[in-house]
Amino acid sequence: MRGSFLIPVLILLGAQIQAQDTNSVPMTATNVPIIGTLQAANYYDQEVVVTGKVAQVSVRSDITFINLDKRYPESPFAIVILKGHSSFSGDATALRGTSIGIKGKVTKYHDKPEMQLNNMDQLTVDGVTNVPAFLQPQTNSPTATQPAGN
């Protein structure tokens, strides 16, 4: 009786191993490919999760650029946050040096892959469970050692 149970399990494991061999790109639970920044150019107009380390954050009055893995202009992938077109809130500079993932459609701009960050649900930060709280600006409160104003 034991042998009859073991055979279907081995068949299932074999099918799973074969499926992994033919699909070398990891997938999310909703079958969205998880790729690195260097692979992004192969996924234009497709929904993916791009992972990388934040190398540079450039904040301007109407747009924020987040460059992954390398600083501009060598960065293989950029994230763009357009003020007024995104529900992103917080201090994007807090992302410097962190490993992140962004989910969305890869687009091409000046022959380079990029993605727009339109809402906070697109963004994950390694080791962070509450991304909006992580991105809240740090306030500097006066310390007790500062002299009182005269």
Give residue-wise pLDDT tens across range 49-106: 999 999 999 999 999 999 999 999 999 999 999 999 999 988 999 999 999 999 999 9
Give the predicted TM-score (pTM) of the model: 0.76
Q: What angle do CA 68, 31, 7 make, to 5 degrees?
A: 130
Integer angstrom CA distances of residue 82 from 36, 87, 89, 109, 114: 23, 9, 11, 14, 13
- pLDDT digits 0-9 by tens, 3-30: 444 444 444 444 444 444 435 789 888 8
Residue 125 has pLDDT above 60, yes or no: yes
